[in-house]
Amino acid sequence: MFARTLGETSDVVTKEMYTFNDRGGDSITLRPEGTAGVARALVSNGLTQSLPQKVFYAGPMFRYERPQRGRLRQFHQIGAELIGPAEPLADAEIITMGWHILRELGVDDSVVLEINTLGDKESREAYRAALIEYFTAHRDLLSEDSQIRLGLNPMRILDSKDTGDKKLVANAPTIEPYLSSGAASFYYSLKRCLHDFDVSFRENPRIVRGLDYYSHTAFEFVTDKLGAQGTVVAGGRYDGLVAEMGGPATPAVGWAAGIERIGELITPPLTPPVNVSVLPVNDQSERFAIAVLMELRDSGVSAEIAYKGNLKRRLQRANKIGAKFAVFADIKRFIQREQDEGVALGVKNLETGEQREMTVHELSEYFR
């Protein structure tokens, strides 16, 4: 399933897939991506009879590669697929959905949307011929992998990570001069719809999906904050995939996002949560201290309770864990004072040594 959908010449299939025989002798592959499974599920369950379908997924993926920042052998993705509509409006809508997710996570300032068109079948055939002519003239300068791709799928060379290949790719022809009128109109409509959705983008003619069932839209949300692993979300239109899996001809468009890479972009709060240690002054005050602890946690304050020892040892424990404040809980004092002013808790700033008294209900507001 993955070899057919990702392509026999892709790096994922040739170098990165975990494929092995299990104890029963069956060939097993750990899934490297999610879209192929969605397409198979549509065909297997007859869902192509009820279109459009909007599908999402989340889960672990596996690829054998050198672990580095933003690239792990087990990683996690979320993905979204819109199956059925053939119009460029659908492409723009699902791209906008990805943009909204990144915006809600607060990483929109760290990413840029790049788009390209792969054209229709007629466009790609003309473009393929132009690429073969160009790269054949420089065949001796191509990497070994790209020399193989030249005979099988020259568009794959455009995505090569080899330094020498990149130099050749920089001067390779782009697809725009080879677009049919229908493909050019589709691309124009996509850009117009993205403007209508108020989603900014830049065009990158080197974004490719090299298989026959990919068409028209290809896009990536990229960043320069993760070193070499700059793609955060990637997707495109794959109108031929469902048919490749044995179903009817079904247009579709979707994307997948790397959870770990998005996580790397999320900035932690500038002010860390206040760490408070609640100290029962004696064993009889423990239940009262628990009530104070829960009052703090319910209001969003990071707090913990000192479990055992005399007050001195509990205070030492608070300092050891790096607590910023200590709250002294004394049930006897609370009972004595709750009938009048209610000031029954001592609060000590462990960094400055300053100490003050307050009521239980003043605590949460004080720490906020």
Residue with tokens 């170098």: 15
Q: Does the structure show a pLDDT above 60 at 339?
A: no
Among 172, 175, 143, residue whose Cα is nearest residue 160: 143
Confidence band for 366, pLDDT divided at 50, 70 and 90: confident
b/e per residue, 108-120, with b = 16+ CB within 10 A? bebbbbbbbbbbb
Both tokens of 265, joined, read 């972009």
Domain borders along the chain are: 2-120+180-265, 275-367
Q: Do domains 2-120+180-265 and 275-367 have the same CATH topology?
A: no
Contacts of 48 (CB under 8 A, 6+ apart): 42, 83, 242, 247, 248, 250
Both tokens of 10, joined, read 């892709």
Range scoring the smallest mean pLDDT among 11-25, 42-56, 156-170: 11-25
The whole-number pLDDT of residue 2 equals: 80
Both tokens of 204, joined, read 């990158």
Q: Does the structure show a pLDDT above 80 at 10?
A: no
**The CATH number fitting domain 275-367, selected from 3.20.10.10, 2.40.170.20, 3.40.50.800, 3.10.105.10:** 3.40.50.800
| Phi, psi at 333, each rounded to 5° | -65, -35
| Phi, psi at 205, each rounded to 5° | -70, -5
Q: 323: exposed, middle or buried (C-beta count within 10 Å: 0-12, 13-18, 19+)? A: buried
Q: Does the structure show a pLDDT above 70 at 11?
A: no
The whole-number pLDDT of residue 333 equals: 74
Among 131, 129, 130, 127, residue whose Cα is nearest residue 117: 127
Q: Does the structure show a pLDDT above 90 at 68?
A: no
Side chain identity at residue 349, one-letter code: N
Q: Does the structure show a pLDDT above 80 at 125?
A: yes
The whole-number pLDDT of residue 195 equals: 97
CATH superfamily ID and name for 2-120+180-265: Bira Bifunctional Protein; Domain 2 (3.30.930.10)
Among 107, 112, 10, 94, residue whose Cα is nearest residue 53: 94
Q: Look at residue 44 and give its three-state secondary structure.
A: helix
pLDDT, average across residues 163-179: 93
State how far Cα 227 lies from the chain centre. 16
C-alpha 25/C-alpha 23 separation (Å) is 5
The whole-number pLDDT of residue 21 equals: 93
C-alpha 227/C-alpha 267 separation (Å) is 17
Contact yes or no for 108/102 (Cβ under 8 A): yes
As beta bridge partners, residue 203 has: 115
Prediction pTM value? 0.74
Q: Does the structure show a pLDDT above 90 at 160?
A: no
Helix (H) or strand (E) holding 194: helix 181-196
Q: Does the structure show a pLDDT above 90 at 86?
A: yes
C-alpha 29/C-alpha 19 separation (Å) is 4
